[in-house]
Structure 1
Amino acid sequence: MTYHYEDSYNSYRMVDLESKAAAASPYELVLVLFDGLLDELARTRGHIEGKRYQEKGRSIEKSINILNGLSSSLDYENGGELVAGLARLYDYCIYRLADVSVTLSLEGLDEVVNLLGTLREGWEGVRAARQ
């Protein structure tokens, strides 16, 4: 049996994520998801630059799954226009990531990272205001 650094790193990340999620408030949980999403998008960049296209595909799939999770957790009944706007933005990021998967556009990837970084800052502000 071969020991792989990536396997142990992934196991560590999973335990770290599970422990953060167990202790998190709803706002902190959103931030944990955003941090995981931004980390995965950074890996996507590395995979594209390294021409590791199979790994790029997995990273984009994980990122899209996180975005779908964020979108599905929105309170559509009570959130009004803000929630509708967030849903549209999450959908746009999913669309752009699907395009990046095909075109390998780092500019498209950077656009998504910048949008999500701004959203993460907004969620950080909401969390801070609720404390």
Structure 2
Amino acid sequence: MYQEDTYDSYRMVDLESRVAAASPYDLVLVLFDGLLDELERMRGHIEAKRYLEKGRSVEKCVNILNGLSSALDFDSGGDVVTGLARLYDYMIYRLTDVSVTLSLEGVDEVVGLLRELREGWEGVRDARR
């Protein structure tokens, strides 16, 4: 347990330093990266049959997705924002299903969607520079 606590402390310091130096576009990428990391941990928990930890990972992922969704600007974002909201909702739905079915394919699907979304967001950030 000590190693996990040390790792979590390191991750928190790393996250705090990344957030402090981030632009709004980079903050979204930080959240995407954190979500991808947690999805990988979830996969490992499912494979190792650590169901309590899997549940915690699902909860963290859903919380990040809800945070991303709640930050969307529906007033000025148009169809893009509506599409993002639907995508976040779908990912939450899939992770809720994964929590019950323990489907690694479901985890992989969410990872694939998120990687594609992250790549697009990097393009938006780079175009704004």
TM bracket, shorter-chain basis: over 0.9
Which residue does 2:118 correspond to in 1? 120
CA distance in 2, matches of 1:107, 1:16: 30
Measure how far apart 1:71 and its partner are.
0.5
Measure how far apart 1:58 and its partner are.
0.2
Which residue does 1:60 correspond to in 2? 58
Which residue does 1:17 correspond to in 2? 15
CA distance in 2, matches of 1:30, 1:68: 13
CA distance in 2, matches of 1:70, 1:18: 18
Counting matched residue pairs gives 129
Structure 1: gaps spanning 5 or more residues: none
Which of 101, 104, 119 pairs up with 1:103?
A: 101
Which residue does 1:8 correspond to in 2? 6
Structure 2: gaps spanning 5 or more residues: none
- Once the two structures are superposed, residues 30-67 of structure 1 have per-residue CA deviations (whole angstroms, 9 ceiling, x without a partner) of 00000000000000000000000000000010000000
CA distance in 2, matches of 1:115, 1:82: 15
Percent identity over the alignment is 77
Measure how far apart 1:22 and its partner are.
1.0
SS of equivalent residue, structure 1 residue 127: helix
- 1:30-41 matched pairs, under 5 angstroms: 30-41=28-39
Equivalent AA in structure 2 for residue 96 of structure 1: R
CA distance in 1, matches of 2:69, 2:22: 19
Q: CA RMSD in A?
A: 0.8
CA distance in 2, matches of 1:117, 1:58: 22
Which of 20, 26, 46 pairs up with 2:24?
A: 26
SS of equivalent residue, structure 1 residue 51: coil
SS of equivalent residue, structure 1 residue 79: helix
Which residue does 1:49 correspond to in 2? 47
CA distance in 1, matches of 2:66, 2:73: 14
> Normalized against structure 2, the TM-score is what?
0.98
SS of equivalent residue, structure 1 residue 77: helix
Equivalent AA in structure 1 for residue 92 of structure 2: I
> Normalized against structure 1, the TM-score is what?
0.97
